[in-house]
Chains A and B, each alone.
Chain A
């Protein structure tokens, strides 16, 4: 029986086909899916913040783009993924509320996306698709059978990356 693996906020999990990995209701957070098409192994991280070096509470490595990705990478490799074959797809990073003066706090979605791109580049993982920005929430699911990254929204329909 294929299982549906759930990833909460500031959380990450790896798995293999035929399972799939889902995370519900991303706003400014970013979902990062890693996938190896040959072994059909992958992982999903749901990060909240760009940078652990600027935060006071860093116990939970899954919370930050810079600390979550190396952990996710290790877990995917431990299940049989090959680092050289891994590709990444990302989604999220929206700005849910717009105010006249957008402060840095409000722009956190953009900063998260930017940080994820930078960390992927540093780890030499190819970013092959993204669905980011906007002002709406997303539920994201990584189908480990095919590697499709499915993004569901309330008003903008469904997008398959």
Chain B
């Protein structure tokens, strides 16, 4: 059987992808910091190649309660973007965005939900700007969708798509946090099957 695409990436290809992740996530973190008017610390993006069933462990396990904003990416390299926050972080983020005292929110109303989706939208947009710039491809995000549920259930949406062609996921993932550590989150870019080759081609690292 042919070896899975994600398992046969060269060190140079991995570096190129990591660099894109770095700049994209940097853009997104800057945007977030402007929305909530706070300094945001960002980890160096991790490029993980994980068995599908282990992806939920990245955010604390399949039954961890999270808020997830999901967007599809359209264009020559269709992908999924998922912005995951632990439930408490989502509440704090909404408090900051809506100008309320931290700790006010313990359940999301319709307005809070739109705020979270809009934040996801802005983060995805700024990430995609960087990716579009480097790949010279036009990549457009769909409208965001929000779910507040178990991490495994939310991630399954993406993992199922990948499961049709392989047993591993390439996950470009960044963790970021405010200084007070009251908002932590994970930002995932998961290229669809086939999209990875397109991205590598445009970067000139597909031998």
Q: Residues of A with Cβ closer than 8 Å to B?
A: 8-11, 24-29, 48-49, 54-57, 59-60, 63, 94, 96-100, 105-106, 108, 135-139, 154
Query: Is B163 within 8 A of A63, CB to CB?
Result: yes
Q: What is the CA–CA distance of A60 and B167 in the complex, to the nearest angstrom?
A: 8
Query: In the complex, which residues of chain A have a beta carbon less than 8 angstroms from the beta carbon of B4?
Result: 57
Q: What is the CB-to-nearest-CB distance from B62 to chain A, in angstroms, rounded to a whole number?
A: 3
The distance in angstroms between the C-alpha atoms of A87 and B19, with both chains bound, is 52
CB distance from B140 to the nearest CB of A (A): 14
Mostly, the A contact residues are loop
In whole Å, how far is A100's beta carbon from the nearest beta carbon of chain B?
8
Among B27-35, B39-47, B98-106, B142-150, the stretch that binds chain A is: B142-150
B143 A56 Cβ-Cβ under 8 A: no
B152 in contact (CB, < 8 A) = yes
A-B contact count (CB 8 A): 109
Chain A contacts for B154, CB-based, 8 A: 27, 96, 137
Residues on A with beta carbons closer than 8 Å to the beta carbon of B124: none
A30 to B154, CA, bound (A): 14
**A11 partner residues in chain B, CB cutoff 8 A:** 53
Residue of B nearest to A105 (CB): B161
Chain B positions 17-33 with a Cβ under 8 Å from a chain A Cβ: none
Q: Which of B62, B154, B161 has the most CB of A within 10 A?
A: B62
Whole-angstrom distance between the Cβ of B16 and the nearest chain A Cβ: 25
- When A10-B52, A136-B153 are in contact, do A97 and B164 touch as well, CB less than 8 Å? no
B63 pairs with A9, CB closer than 8 A: no
Interface set of B (CB-CB < 8 Å, partner A): 1, 4, 52-53, 56, 61-63, 65, 68, 70, 72, 142-143, 145-157, 159-161, 163-167
List A contacts of B62 (CB < 8 A).
8-9, 24-25
B160 partner residues in chain A, CB cutoff 8 A: 28-29, 48-49, 108
CB <8 Å contact, B157 and A28: yes
Give the contacting residue for B163; candidates A10, A24, A25, A139; CB below 8 A: A10
Residues of chain A within 8 A (CB-CB) of B156 are: 9, 25-29, 48, 96
Q: Report the bound CA distance from A108 to B146 in whole Å.
A: 18
Q: Report whether A99 and B165 are in contact in the complex, using a CB–CB cutoff of 8 Å.
A: no
Check B165 against A27 for contact (C-beta < 8 Å).
no
Which residues of chain B have C-beta atoms less than 8 A from A138's C-beta? 153
Residue of B nearest to A112 (CB): B160
Residues of A within 8 A of B72 (CB): 99
**A138, B149: Cα distance in complex, Å:** 9
Of A27, A59, A108, the most chain B CB neighbours within 10 A belong to A27
